[in-house]
């Protein structure tokens, strides 16, 4: 695979052909961090027709909270047997001093701050069926012993209404968990999507799924190779490279309607690797229109008003524009031989190399705040194999996020700046995985076919 990758890069350098990447699988767990708040949420119960779906709600809430890097989710195995379900079950204040062993009262909210639960916050609630809908009543409290009344301890109390089925219960669970995470600066991923490449239909096509891996569906049906998707920051369009008409050209689809959007491809052996500006109005892409190795071009989102911005004599691909500034970008370039990541402005000037020049560095992706990039690199604990690294752009300090877990590539930041989606390959097939931005909490989102090159899409604005 490594020799094939080098040959492909050389081919791009000489004649502008496609440069494909791969991806890979892993496992992980979240370590408890004493610097983050501890949160416990009891299993909600339900009556009537809602009882059949409350388990889906509870599972969703637990998964969202356990997978978040902004809190420590307390395992339910530590909870009392009969936890409270609603405010009327709770007792405020601190228990009076007792002789002998201390007895924990699960209804006394401050007792939840004691071992073994030792939580800073407690979520409780219940579900019911009302007028044919799944209705959840959810509350969230501080367990600090210094808080005297339940009114002072309550952080929020909300009602969540959804369809009376499993998908509705899952949706309500996501919203309740999102409200909890929002109290600690966490941003909800509900409404975001992940676009990716899959061969499960017989050829490499563009697919899309919800941020949590649900509702996976096919977007393209070209029966050819469609790859390297990119999403507009406003969440309305996806652009990608496809061989549908023979040579690699750029295509664009509406994520709202699924219909093809106009894009003018200049005459070239390759037009590929497209990326949007933060306002979604312009794009940068690679093309061999001037002959020789692929160079970078800036254009309107439909391909008009084209302007060449690099003339390096070396391959220039995978340009990614800084989402915070919109004025600079990172690029994979062959200026120093093997592919490395460079930084430059949108005019192609002020060029500096970010990676060390050793191994191959590819697939850069900006964090939403423009302070870090995630990328794939063949250095670190497994020299020669691709792994995901994180770089602080200002200091150029790097952190390795994957190791000894196969071949890992194509990272893409979530809109919350706290998660990364990537492709991971063990054995013969690649799958889409997600992890926290510190490398913890790894889990697979796909299982069918071979899946690669994921891109996280913002919720439509």
Q: What is the CATH number of the domain that holds 245?
A: 2.120.10.30
Of 293, 306, 333, 338, the C-alpha closest to 317 is 333
Same domain, 362 and 433: yes
Same domain, 427 and 288: yes
- At a CB cut-off of 8 Å and minimum separation 6, what does 98 contact? none
Among candidate residues 182, 206, 240, the one where a domain is terminated: 182
- At a CB cut-off of 8 Å and minimum separation 6, what does 21 contact? 362, 363, 376, 409, 410, 423, 452, 453
Same domain, 403 and 273: yes
**pLDDT tens, position by position, for the chain (461 residues)?**
332 343 344 333 333 333 333 322 222 223 345 589 999 999 999 999 999 999 999 999 998 898 888 899 999 999 998 999 999 999 987 876 655 556 788 999 999 999 999 999 999 999 999 999 999 999 999 999 999 899 999 999 999 999 999 999 999 999 999 999 999 998 888 889 999 999 999 999 999 999 999 999 999 999 999 999 999 999 999 999 999 999 999 999 999 999 999 999 999 999 999 999 999 999 999 999 999 999 999 999 999 999 999 999 899 999 999 999 999 999 999 998 999 999 999 999 999 999 999 999 999 999 999 999 999 999 988 888 999 999 999 999 999 999 999 999 999 999 999 999 999 998 899 999 999 999 988 999 999 999 999 999 999 87
Same domain, 217 and 162: no
Same domain, 136 and 176: yes
CB 223 within 8 A of CB 245: no
Among candidate residues 164, 182, 200, the one where a domain is terminated: 182
Among candidate residues 182, 211, 240, the one where a domain is terminated: 182
CB 365 within 8 A of CB 374: yes
Residue 460: the pLDDT is 87
Identify the domain containing residue 108 by its residue range: 38-182
Residue 98: the pLDDT is 57
Residue 29: the pLDDT is 29
The two tokens of residue 426 are: 């063990």
Same domain, 234 and 142: no
pTM for the whole thing? 0.82
- At a CB cut-off of 8 Å and minimum separation 6, what does 311 contact? 290, 295, 348
The two tokens of residue 395 are: 């200091």
Number of domains the chain contains: 2
């Amino acid at each position: 695979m490594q020799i094939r990758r080098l040959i492909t890069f050389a081919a791009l350098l000489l004649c502008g052909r496609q440069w494909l990447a791969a991806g890979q699988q892993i496992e992980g767990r979240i370590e408890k961090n004493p610097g983050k708040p501890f949160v416990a949420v009891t299993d909600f119960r339900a009556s009537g027709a809602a009882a059949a779906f409350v388990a889906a709600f509870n599972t969703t809430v637990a998964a969202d909270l356990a997978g978040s890097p902004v809190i420590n989710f307390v395992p339910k195995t530590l909870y009392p047997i009969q936890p409270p379900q609603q405010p009327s079950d709770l007792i405020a204040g601190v228990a009076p001093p007792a002789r002998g062993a201390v007895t924990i009262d699960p209804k006394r909210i401050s007792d939840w701050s004691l071992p073994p639960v030792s939580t800073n916050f407690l979520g409780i609630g219940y579900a019911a069926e009302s007028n044919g809908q799944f209705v959840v009543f959810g509350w969230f409290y501080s367990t600090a012993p210094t808080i005297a009344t339940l009114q002072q301890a309550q952080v929020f109390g909300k009602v969540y209404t959804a369809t009376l089925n499993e998908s509705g219960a899952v949706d309500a669970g996501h919203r309740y968990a999102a409200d909890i995470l929002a109290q600690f600066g966490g941003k909800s991923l509900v409404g975001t999507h992940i676009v990716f490449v899959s061969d499960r239909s017989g050829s490499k096509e563009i697919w899309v799924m919800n941020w949590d891996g649900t509702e996976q569906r096919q977007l393209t049906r070209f029966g050819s190779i469609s790859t390297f998707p990119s999403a507009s920051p406003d969440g309305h369009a996806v652009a990608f490279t496809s061989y549908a008409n023979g040579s690699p050209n750029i295509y664009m689809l509406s994520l709202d309607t699924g219909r093809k959007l106009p894009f003018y491809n200049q005459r070239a052996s390759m037009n590929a690797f497209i990326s949007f500006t933060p306002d979604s109005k312009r794009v940068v892409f690679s093309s061999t229109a001037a002959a020789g190795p692929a160079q970078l071009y800036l254009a309107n989102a439909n391909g008009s008003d084209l302007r060449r911005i690099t003339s390096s004599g070396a391959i220039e691909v995978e340009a990614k524009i800084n989402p915070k500034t919109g004025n600079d970008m990172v690029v994979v370039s062959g200026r120093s031989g093997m592919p490395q990541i460079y930084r430059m402005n949108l005019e192609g000037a002020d060029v500096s190399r970010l990676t060390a020049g050793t191994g191959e560095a590819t697939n850069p992706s900006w964090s939403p705040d423009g302070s870090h990039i995630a990328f794939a690199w063949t250095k670190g604990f497994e020299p020669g194999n691709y792994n995901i690294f994180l770089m602080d752009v200002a200091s150029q300090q790097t952190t390795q996020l994957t190791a000894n877990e196969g071949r890992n590539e194509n990272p893409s930041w979530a809109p919350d700046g706290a998660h990364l989606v990537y492709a991971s390959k063990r054995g013969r097939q690649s799958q889409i995985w997600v992890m926290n931005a510190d490398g913890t909490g790894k889990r697979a989102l796909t299982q069918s076919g071979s899946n690669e090159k994921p891109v996280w899409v913002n919720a439509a604005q």
